[in-house]
Structure 1
Amino acid sequence: MKKKGLSELVEVLLQEVAEFKNIDKDVVLDSLKDALSSAARRYLQLQNRVDVDIDVETGEVSVFLRVEVVDDYPEYDLDMSAEEVAELDEGYMLVQNAQRFNENAQHGDFLEMEIPIANFGRQAIQTAKQFLIQRVKEAERAQIYESYKNKVGMLITGTVMRTEKRAHYVSIGPNVEGVLLESGQIRKEKLKRGSPVKAIIESVNEASRAGSQIVLSRTSGKFLEELFRQEVPEIAEGTVEIKGTARDPGFRAKIAVLSRDSRIDPVGACVGMRGMRVQSIVRELSNERIDIVHWSEELPTYIRRALSPANVSRIFDVEGVQRSVVVVSDADLAQTIGRNGQNVRLASNLLGRTIDVFGESDWAEKTEEEKQIIIQPRSEDLRKEQKEAGKSLKELFDEENTSTSKTDELDGIEAMVQAGEDAAVEQDLEDADEMVPLDRENLEN
């Protein structure tokens, strides 16, 4: 058969996969062979192996049944799996079945017959079509995974193609779509069909039968990093290093930077001439306010910079855990905490430790005993350390010599901490509902 004379089945199958333009031709060809083989088995109502030959130059297609005729299936090694046994059985046909095609077939004969694909029937055609589409889609998914699995964290620019159930589907390449889930969207921005959009590739799923394999994000700290890397040449070149980020997407963010060249100010490099560099990023993030922090290996210095422009007067490091207590001027207290605790929460995330903030007058009114309780490890601190270190709460208390192994003593410490917190002077700030964590200097008023 010449290509123009192919059966309706082959024509239909080739049309069905025409949209998968990026799939390797050999993959499509192998999938077509498997689809025709599946259709032939359905047509014959047998599970035997069917061979399909396709001449890619002439378009000639041949479908053959090639089996060995047997009285009974042979016995196989007991170690073989059911799948391996089934595959071997495909090469054999029982005598009674073989005589359907050749009445003289006997045990030991080899039966070979060509199957006219034009006779497969509508149901067999539908089965072959579904099989082929499934195989080609699987190949497409595998190809996308191989192409994008090493691009996680990469900044991409795409176009919004459609929106379904609050998820935006974004074209990021020829026949490649990424999905921007609600969790990856900046809350106050609205993306419409045809809108250009930047995002990072957050994850790539190897097997995803529904939806997109590639998950995008505009809310992660990595997205902020990549925007700065794109906008600031010193970061792209490695002269300025990003040490950490913290975000409340669409509202406020903090990014810590360090210069590897003493002649270059890392903060100034990120801000740019007349603020042009950072303003470009702010616009991309729907006017998200960005605090650029000069990173320091000295924790007290880093804490002060993370809370800037607040006037931090004292810092107490809570020994053995990732928490610090900070005392600031009363005038700076509201600004330090921020609206709904936003500023101190972002600073905590940037620093990787909890920060508790007190005003000067509030701290001065506390007794020495109350101050000691505040700067001691709390039960929640120890639970956090326990989770990170895989240790029991009792072991952590023992290491700090703050309790014995008795359960009632642990309960007593927790109650004591709670009492200390309850004894803290009330703050007149509605935005300071939570106390947040920070380096010990001394306990003097």
Structure 2
Amino acid sequence: MSVLTKSDSVVVSGQTPLFGTVTTQGSKNSALPLLASLPLFDEVEIANCPDLTDIHVMVDTLKYLGATGSFSDGVVKLNLRNIMNRPISEEFTNKLRASSLFLGSLLARFGEARVGMPGGCVIGSRPLDIHLNGFKSLGAEVDKGAGNITVTSNGLEGQFTLPLPSVGATQNLIYASVFSPSEVKLHNIAIEPEIFELVDFLNAAGANITFENPKTLTIRGVKRLNPIQFNVQPDRIEAFTLLVAGVATKGSVKVTHCRPEHLTAPLQALEAMGAKVEVGDDWIEASYIGPLKGIQVETGFYPAFPTDCQQQISILMALAETPSILSEKVFNSRFRHLDELRNMGAEIKINDNSAVIQRSENERGMIGCKVDSYDLRGAASMIIAGMVSEGVTTVQSLRYLYRGYEEFIEKLNRLGAEISYR
């Protein structure tokens, strides 16, 4: 079934443990910024791209700009020699926040970029101020009006220190500087694995980007980038989601073709809760070995605990024998799923961006019911919640799930879940 035609809800039969081995998809959070950089190229082939609605939107946007080619069997193959500097309207940007990354790549190629205000999951305030202030500090002119952002420049140069290590702003400023007439130095950059993959990708095509230290990089402008073939790295967030599903259902799941070093903080949290975690060069196995213990987790920028793993760990917290404290420090509206957990019986107290979570006082534990999905990671977490609850759970609004998980339901069913599309 195509990701574009899948049902918007599923029925989950609870209390079925998961056992087995599953392979990680290509990284959504790497593939999207790689695709957003493609206006810098004439020709490119990117493999291991996950079949997600977000990826389709990015490819459609590139074709709207004039790219030709295809996305099939995990490979995006595009010719971009004849792309045009067309405004990217809200038709595209309302669907996907990563569309804002076209500002940097179009600016570098054409000296001007116009993009509609970005959309995506509603997980809190995510202003583009750092992106735009960075452009201005490096010599560009920025105009915001009538729902559009326009950036113009004859070439960026100079230095900029990000007030906080925004992943998107780091990516956008890297794109915009690749063809700089001299050099650009960026300080306090994001250091997520996806940033290093982007730099590797651009350097492999002929860019000149070097790290002075993990938080500072220098971009020396080049005239052009060469055609390139590249493989997207494994998805660390999907890997953790599947591991949580195994532990939550009192089973054992081994995730292969992944990079354990990208998940240090989340794996430490699993171990602290009482799960058994084993790690190899390219695999991780997490197993339930006894009652879970409450812990304290605070999200932050890499290498801290990722905000994209917060909703998944909250399911384990709702099963633990002792209370947990969950603090969200990156986004200000990422606790909406906790209301759904409450409806299923979990005991949760929320104070601003912190929550105390503990298991249901009901001896039967959480009870299945109809729940909604409010964002991408919340959708996956509600499915896991359904698998650990008594009875049947209907999870709605799965359009969010398909933005970031490829064949997620199918993978869970192969591991022993009982989930059916409605």
Q: The TM-score by the shorter chain falls in which range?
A: under 0.3
Structure with greater Cα Rg: 1
TM norm structure 1: 0.24
TM norm structure 2: 0.25
User: Using CA pairs below 8 Å that are at least 6 residues apart, which structure has the higher relative contact order?
Assistant: 2
